Amino acid sequence: MTNNLILNSIEKSYNYEEYRKLIKALISSGKSTSTEENKALFEYSILNDKRMDRLDKTLKVTQDTLEIVQNVDQKLTFLVISEGWCGDAAQVVPVINKIVENAENISLKIVLRDDNESLMNQFLTNGSKSIPKIVLLDENYRVINSWGPRPSLATKMVLNYKLKNGGLDADFKRNLQVWYNKDKGFSTQSDIIKMLQSS
């Protein structure tokens, strides 16, 4: 992958506050971050905006997370591929933001999947454009590692359900959101810390 692709994506990126404002502005216009007009994605966007509002107020960063991220001694960037309508992104991206808020040497850049297809195609999950995807970059914007689209525990739940039922249905998706709510972002923090430590 060329460094130009990463640099071009970063030029089009949003910080977390801009990302949240964009989603809210689109919702107020009856739209989602999707490039296609889709009522379901618009309704998901409304729901996910409320989830992110709640998480922004209630998320806590663990002591373990603080100790690791506050001792990062090189400039790093989390380049996050996301969309406002995505349920996993709504649960993960606020956690990433909270981590970055407590890390002097880590910055957060968010890009929309559908506006950055070439970038997304470099970070497929089993051939699919699953989001969110967190790409860890060094100070020269070279890729060190990547993670996503969901915490490892949730990934196991998804795989097990697919094996048993052949796919994901509305019941599973509701249950996954319940799991996220109970988990309170701790599994995401744990996975991100492991990524940082292994990089």
So what's the pLDDT on residue 178?
A: 95
CA dihedral 126, 195, 174, 101 (to 10 degrees): -130
So what's the pLDDT on residue 1?
A: 57
Local confidence band at 161 (pLDDT 50, 70, 90 cut-offs): very high
CA distance 169 to 82: 22
So what's the pLDDT on residue 85?
A: 97
So what's the pLDDT on residue 54?
A: 97
**Three-state DSSP string of 20-35:** HHHHHHHHHCCCCCCC
Local confidence band at 2 (pLDDT 50, 70, 90 cut-offs): low
CATH number of the domain that residue 25 is part of:
3.40.30.10
pLDDT digits (tens, 9 = 90+) for 106-153: 999 999 999 999 999 999 999 999 999 999 999 999 999 999 999 999
Q: Kindly report the average pLDDT of the chain as a whole number.
A: 95
Q: How far apart are the first and last CA of the chain?
A: 18
Number of domains in the chain: 1
So what's the pLDDT on residue 81?
A: 98
Share of the chain above pLDDT 70, in %: 99
| Domain residue limits at 174 | 3-198
Within a 10 A sphere around the Cβ of 190, how many other Cβ atoms? 17
Local confidence band at 179 (pLDDT 50, 70, 90 cut-offs): very high
Local confidence band at 199 (pLDDT 50, 70, 90 cut-offs): confident
pLDDT digits (tens, 9 = 90+) for 80-91: 999 999 999 999
Say whether pTM exceeds 0.75: yes
CA distance 129 to 32: 18
